[in-house]
Chains A and B, each alone.
Chain A
Amino acid sequence: MKALYPALLALGLALPDAVAAADYTVQPATSTLGFAGTFQGAGFSGKFDKWTAVISYDAAHLAASKFDVTVDLSSAKTGDKDRDTALPGADFFNIAKFPQAHFVTTGFRQAGAQVLVDGNLTLHGVTKPVTLNVTFKPQGAGAVLDVSGSLKRLDFGVGGGDYADTSVIAADVKVTAHLQLAAK
Chain B
Amino acid sequence: MSLRNDRRRWGSIARFFHWIMALAIIGNGVFGLLMDLAHGPMQKINWLALHKSIGLTVLALFLLRLLWRLIDRRPPDEPGPRWQQLAAHGVHGLLYLLIAAIPLSGWWFNSVAGKPLQWFKLFNLPPLAAKNEDLADTVFAVHEYLFWFLVAVLVVHVGAALKHHVFDKDNVLRRMMPFGRPRP
Chain A positions near chain B (C-beta within 8 angstroms): 39-42, 79-82, 86, 161-163, 165, 167-168
Residue of B43, B114, B124, B133 near A40 (CB, 8 A) is: B124
Contacts of B116 in A (CB 8 A): 39-42
The answer to whether A162 touches B49 (Cβ under 8 A) is: no
Chain B positions near chain A (C-beta within 8 angstroms): 40-43, 45-46, 49, 114-118, 121, 123-124, 133
Contacts of A167 in B (CB 8 A): 121
In the complex, the chain A residue whose C-beta lies closest to that of B39 is: A162
A162 to B45, CA, bound (A): 11
The answer to whether B49 touches A40 (Cβ under 8 A) is: yes
In the complex, the chain A residue whose C-beta lies closest to that of B119 is: A41
Q: Would you mind naming 7 contact pairs between A and B with Cβ atoms under 8 Å apart? A: A40-B115, A40-B121, A40-B124, A41-B124, A81-B133, A163-B42, A168-B42
Contacts of A82 in B (CB 8 A): 41
**What is the minimal beta-carbon distance from A156 to any residue of chain B, in angstroms?**
18
Contact A162:B42 (CB < 8 A) given known A40-B49, A42-B124: yes
The answer to whether B133 touches A162 (Cβ under 8 A) is: no
Number of A-B contacts (CB under 8 A): 36
The answer to whether A41 touches B40 (Cβ under 8 A) is: no
Contacts of B124 in A (CB 8 A): 40-42
With A39-B116, A80-B115 known, 11 other A-B pairs at CB within 8 A are A40-B117, A40-B118, A40-B121, A40-B124, A41-B124, A82-B41, A86-B41, A162-B40, A162-B43, A165-B42, A168-B46
A79 to B115, CA, bound (A): 11
Contacts of B41 in A (CB 8 A): 82, 86, 162
Contacts of B45 in A (CB 8 A): 40, 168
Contacts of A40 in B (CB 8 A): 45, 49, 115-118, 121, 124
The answer to whether B133 touches A42 (Cβ under 8 A) is: no
Contact A41:B118 (CB < 8 A) given known A168-B42, A168-B45: yes
In the complex, the chain B residue whose C-beta lies closest to that of A86 is: B41
Residue of B43, B46, B123 near A41 (CB, 8 A) is: B123
A120 to B51, CA, bound (A): 42
The answer to whether A41 touches B42 (Cβ under 8 A) is: no
Contacts of B117 in A (CB 8 A): 40
A18 to B40, CA, bound (A): 56
**What is the minimal beta-carbon distance from B34 to any residue of chain A, in angstroms?**
19
**What is the minimal beta-carbon distance from B176 to any residue of chain A, in angstroms?**
37
A175 to B121, CA, bound (A): 25
**What is the minimal beta-carbon distance from B32 to any residue of chain A, in angstroms?**
18
A161 to B41, CA, bound (A): 12
- Chain A CB count within 10 A is highest, among B114, B124, B133, for B114
The answer to whether A42 touches B121 (Cβ under 8 A) is: no
A41 to B118, CA, bound (A): 7
A81 to B134, CA, bound (A): 12
